[in-house]
């Protein structure tokens, strides 16, 4: 079994598979393991204190052009999603629409550590990930509008961004369904003898699905180069993780399958990048999979139709104080990588790209009726 590159205790115990068994064994059936809750809170606190220092250190070691591109992608993602909300309310987008605001550091930090030919699969909160993989804002926006110029010709909509050329395999609406498909993609890479890595994203609510457990077991047993990224935004629709999961640490669940795992602060784009680079290193070396629990917070509702009655404004405001874009900007400024003028330029470029995308989507024709039964498989 490979040595995990993480400093977390749970990852170290993954080697002998003992995990937290003795602690858990003392619990009565049905009793919640509160000690794990406090472990996780402690961990989050330590991560937060370390963040500024580690982000600055990590910035020092990273190419300046790449850092600028990372910030641009985060700002583009934010402006794009804000515009989505606006045009959705105007009736230009129909159906489900899940925004990524607050979680940008996860997609950018992890995906920009990949090679072009590496593969990505995700759930329905997929607009920003599609753009980070290389899809144009025009084709994502037109897809949201259900127009012909969309990445799948307007037939998928918000939840089904897809591009075989870009190795971006969706956009999936069944919670946890993509974990099995992503595991299969990693199997295909191994079978063909390529050294491609698969990034498989899912929310924390998907972790309670059998598919998560079956896939992790198989990936570790067969050494499949899959990086499982749990985007823990702490809610599955209106249900908080606390109300739905018997233990709080998702990373520790990797111990059950002997899989390398790390808990990562999802507000810190550099921490996400560094953890992903470690996971990629393991995957390319001998196919070893990794489970990353990346904790963030979604600033908007679950979808555009969420009234948000299950949480307080104070709670949202508390997390907004740690806005990943503001934190990254502060660090870049302090490191003298970028200054106010650069931020203005990045902002302007992002706004222009989004304006162009909306114009393209507005002008793109609706799909031709003849297309109704083409590319339909089920």
Footprint of ligand TPP (CB under 6 A): 125, 173-175, 203-206, 233, 235-237, 302
The alpha carbon of 26 is separated from its chain's Cα centroid by a whole number of angstroms, namely 35
DSSP-derived 3-state class of residue 183 = helix
Choose between 12 and 244: whose C-beta lies nearer to Mg ion: 244
β-bridge partners, 240? 235
Q: Which stretch binds Mg ion (CB under 5 A): 34-42, 226-234, 327-335, 368-376?
A: 226-234
Identify whether the C-beta of residue 37 lies closer than 8 Å to the C-beta of residue 30: no
Find where tokens 């937290």 sit. 20
What contacts 269, CB < 8 A, 6 or more positions away?
55, 70, 74, 104, 105, 108, 109, 324, 328
Pick the binder of Mg ion from 55, 58, 167, 233 (CB under 5 A).
233
Q: Which residue is nearest to ligand TPP (CB)?
A: 203
- Identify the CA nearest to 329 among candidates 342, 319, 312: 342
By the rule CB under 5 A, 103 interacts with Mg ion: no
Choose between 40 and 280: whose C-beta lies nearer to ligand TPP: 40
CB of 53 to Mg ion, least distance (A): 29
By the rule CB under 5 A, 203 interacts with Mg ion: yes
User: Which option in Mg ion, ligand TPP, none does residue 237 bind, with CB closer than 5 to 8 A by kind?
Assistant: ligand TPP
Cα 121 to Cα 129: distance, rounded to the nearest angstrom = 9
Q: Which stretch binds Mg ion (CB under 5 A): 142-150, 203-211, 216-224, 319-327?
A: 203-211
Identify whether the C-beta of residue 169 lies closer than 8 Å to the C-beta of residue 162: yes
**Distance between the two ends of the chain, CA-based, in angstroms?**
40
CB of 258 to ligand TPP, least distance (A): 24
CB of 234 to ligand TPP, least distance (A): 8
Choose between 47 and 204: whose C-beta lies nearer to ligand TPP: 204
Q: Which residues here bind Mg ion, judged by CB under 5 A?
A: 203-204, 233, 236
């Amino acid at each position: 079994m490979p040595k995990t590159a993480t400093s977390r205790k749970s990852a170290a115990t993954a080697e002998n598979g003992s995990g937290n068994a003795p602690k858990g064994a003392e619990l009565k059936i049905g009793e919640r393991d509160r000690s794990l809750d406090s472990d996780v809170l402690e961990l989050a606190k330590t991560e937060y204190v370390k963040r500024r220092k580690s982000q600055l250190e990590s910035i020092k070691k990273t190419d300046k052009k790449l850092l600028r591109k990372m910030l641009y992608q985060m700002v583009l993602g934010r402006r794009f999603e804000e515009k989505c909300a606006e045009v959705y309310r105007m009736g230009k987008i129909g159906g489900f629409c899940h925004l990524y605001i607050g979680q940008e550091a996860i997609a950018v930090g992890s995906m920009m550590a990949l090679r072009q030919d590496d593969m990505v699969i995700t759930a329905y909160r997929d607009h920003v990930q599609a753009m980070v993989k290389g899809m144009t804002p025009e084709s994502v926006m037109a897809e949201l509008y259900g127009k012909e110029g969309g990445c799948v010709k307007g037939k998928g909509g918000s939840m089904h961004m897809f591009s075989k050329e870009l190795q971006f395999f969706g956009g999936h609406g069944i919670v946890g369904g993509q974990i099995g498909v992503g595991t299969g993609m990693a199997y295909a890479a191994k079978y063909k003898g390529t050294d491609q890595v698969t990034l498989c994203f899912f929310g924390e609510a998907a972790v309670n699905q059998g598919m998560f457990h079956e896939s992790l077991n198989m990936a570790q047993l067969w050494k499949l180069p899959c990086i499982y990224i749990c985007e823990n935004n702490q809610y599955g629709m209106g249900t908080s993780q606390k109300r739905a999961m018997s233990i709080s640490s998702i990373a520790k669940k990797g111990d059950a399958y002997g899989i390398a795992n790390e808990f990562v602060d999802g507000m810190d784009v550099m921490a996400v990048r560094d953890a992903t680079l470690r996971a990629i290193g393991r995957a390319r070396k001998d196919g070893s999979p990794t489970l990353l629990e990346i904790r963030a917070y979604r600033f908007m509702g679950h979808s555009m139709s969420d009234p948000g009655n299950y949480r307080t404004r104070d709670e949202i405001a508390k997390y907004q104080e740690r806005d990943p874009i503001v934190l990254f900007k502060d660090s870049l400024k302090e490191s003298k990588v970028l200054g106010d003028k650069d931020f203005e330029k990045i902002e302007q470029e992002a706004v222009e790209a989004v304006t162009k995308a909306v114009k393209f989507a507005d002008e793109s024709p609706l799909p031709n009726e003849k297309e109704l039964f083409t590319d339909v498989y089920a």
